[in-house]
Amino acid sequence: MSNNSNKSLAVSAEPTNSSLFSSIASSSQRALINLLRIGPIPKHVGFIMDGNRRYAKKLGVQTRIGHVVGSKSLEKTLEWCLDLGINVVTVYAFSIENFKRPREEVDVLMDLACRKFEEFSKHSTFVSKHSIRIRVLGDTSLLPPHVLEAARQAEASTRYHTRAVLNICCPYTSRHEMAESVALAVRGVKEGHLRVDDIDEHLLDRLMQTGEDPELDILVRTSGEKRLSDFLLWQVTKDCQVHFLDVLWPEFSFWNMLPVLLSYQANYTRRQAARIASIAPSPARITWPGSSNPDDQADGTEDEEARGARVERYLQLLREEKMAQ
């Protein structure tokens, strides 16, 4: 739960608009956040940040302004997510398909991303205050060199932050992530770390790029489109609540998220009960790195323990390889 780890309950300073309305709004937001924290809070939330271009068109400005306002909206979203105590936030910043867009727009987006990564890596107050670990998911080999370098720097400098994780998917498609996870499993078998029968849903889950994170609880897509567009497809088919909100990303705020959180809390007990009811006597359970294997006394065969050990060793090997990069 969130309340053990968070100490500060106040949100950071609101922007310069100091009208009566905005101060009432911000204090009621703070009050509501404190109220929500009494109940269950999702551990992992995903956002598809859609609607920047439509916002720019609506205002009659250039597309890049829409993207800039969108990135500001992302910062504000992260602020209240962290105040709520959401541990992991995954955002869909850029899709591999988006490289098809006009060159200027792609350049604008890449520059924005580069600036954001540099800001994160220079220990911005935001990142260090909340102790956020930044991870960049996706096919990073497709990024231009300066962006790739900035992304590596941001990851390396925040590697040991433990309170929260921000996964920036750039450039990412879920099919690519699933293909990578299958490739890693095949490699494990080929190199003798694993057997063919060790490959199952749980292993592929751990091998996904979000393998170290808790299960996805909520996925929010803004701008009213009702599809997933190749984002977290594997994670979403596993007991996740998907909300399609009819608001553009630059206009997205805590107030749009409030009904989402309330319905999460209202459905929490039903969801937990359904989860318990659906747990079949499967051999392997998901275990997080560092934690001990929970319940193997139940089936406790030699095979299961040996299998668990093989899987853990292979995952450790992959982690060490990634650290060494």
Query: Quick one: 77 or 223, whose CB is closer to another protein?
Result: 223
Least CB distance from residue 211 to another protein, whole Å? 14
Using CB under 8 A as the binding rule, whether residue 274 contacts another protein is answered as yes
Least CB distance from residue 259 to another protein, whole Å? 7
Using CB under 8 A as the binding rule, whether residue 240 contacts another protein is answered as yes
Which of 12-20, 112-120, 219-227, 249-257 is the region at the interface with another protein (rule: CB under 8 A)? 219-227
**Binding residue for another protein (CB under 8 A) from 64, 133, 176, 307?**
176
Using CB under 8 A as the binding rule, whether residue 270 contacts another protein is answered as yes
Using CB under 8 A as the binding rule, whether residue 239 contacts another protein is answered as yes
Cα radius of gyration rounded to whole Å, the chain:
21
Least CB distance from residue 151 to another protein, whole Å? 20
**Binding residue for another protein (CB under 8 A) from 9, 38, 59, 179?**
179
Least CB distance from residue 165 to another protein, whole Å? 22
Query: Quick one: 32 or 96, whose CB is closer to another protein?
Result: 96
Q: What is the 3-state secondary structure (H, E, C) of the chain?
A: CCCCCCCCCCCCCCCCCCCHHHHHHHHHHHHHHHHHCCCCCCCEEEEECCCHHHHHHHHCCCHHHHHHHHHHHHHHHHHHHHHHCCCEEEEECCEHHHHHCCHHHHHHHHHHHHHHHHHHHCCCHHHHHHCEEEEEECCHHHCCHHHHHHHHHHHHHCCCCCCEEEEEECCECHHHHHHHHHHHHHHHHHCCCCCHHHCCHHHHHHHCCCCCCCCCCEEEECCCCCCCCCCCHHHHCCCCEEEECCCCHHHCCHHHHHHHHHHHHHCHHHHHHHHHHHCCCCCCCCCCCCCCCCCCCCCCCHHHHHHHHHHHHHHHHHHHHHHHC
Structure tokens at 302: 């030699």
**Binding residue for another protein (CB under 8 A) from 18, 226, 292, 295?**
226
Tell me how many residues contact another protein (CB under 8 A): 56
Give residues with Cβ within 8 angstroms of 90, minimum separation 6: 44, 45, 46, 47, 137, 166, 167, 169, 210, 213, 216, 232
Q: What is d(CA 303, CA 319) in angstroms, rounded to the nearest whole number? A: 24
**Binding residue for another protein (CB under 8 A) from 12, 76, 283, 296?**
283
Query: Quick one: 230 or 296, whose CB is closer to another protein?
Result: 230
Which of 69-77, 141-149, 259-267, 301-309 is the region at the interface with another protein (rule: CB under 8 A)? 259-267
Query: Quick one: 156 or 298, whose CB is closer to another protein?
Result: 298
**Binding residue for another protein (CB under 8 A) from 32, 142, 148, 189?**
189
Least CB distance from residue 105 to another protein, whole Å? 10
Query: Quick one: 84 or 185, whose CB is closer to another protein?
Result: 185
Q: What is d(CA 200, CA 285) in angstroms, rounded to the nearest whole number? A: 11
Using CB under 8 A as the binding rule, whether residue 242 contacts another protein is answered as yes
CA atoms within 13 A on the CB side of 134: 26
Show the site string, 81-120: x = touches another protein by CB under 8 A, - = not.
Answer: --------------xxxxxxx-------------------
Q: Where along the sequence are the contacts to another protein (CB under 8 A)? A: 95-101, 173-176, 178-179, 182-183, 185-187, 189-190, 196-197, 199-201, 204, 225-230, 233-234, 236-244, 259-260, 263, 267, 270, 273-274, 276-278, 280, 282-283
